[in-house]
Amino acid sequence: MHDSPLGVIYEARRTLGLWQNVDLARFLGVSTRTVRRHAGSAGIPLGNHHAKLARALYPVNPELAAKFARACRLDLVELGIAPKPSQPPPARPAATREHALLALCNAADALNLTPRAARPLLANILAHAHALGVELGGLAKLVAEAPNARPRREK
Burial class (CB in 10 A: 0-12, 13-18, 19+), 142: exposed
Cβ-proximal residues to 139 (8 Å cutoff; 6+ apart), any chain = 129
* 17, 12, 78, 73 alpha-carbon torsion, rounded to 10°: -140
Rounded CA separation 108/44 (Å): 72
Instruction: Supply the pLDDT for residue 126.
Output: 85
Enumerate the domain spans of the chain.
5-71, 97-145
Alpha helices in the chain (DSSP H): 5-15, 21-28, 32-37, 49-60, 62-71, 97-111, 115-132, 136-145
Which residue, among 22, 17, 13, has the nearest Cα to 41 in the 3D structure?
13
pLDDT of residue 96: 87
- The pair phi, psi for residue 63, each rounded to 5°, is -65, -45
Q: What is the pTM of this model?
A: 0.49
Which residue numbers in the chain have pLDDT < 70? 1-3, 39-47, 146-155
Residue 43: the pLDDT is 47
Sign of the alpha-carbon torsion through 112, 93, 135, 89: positive
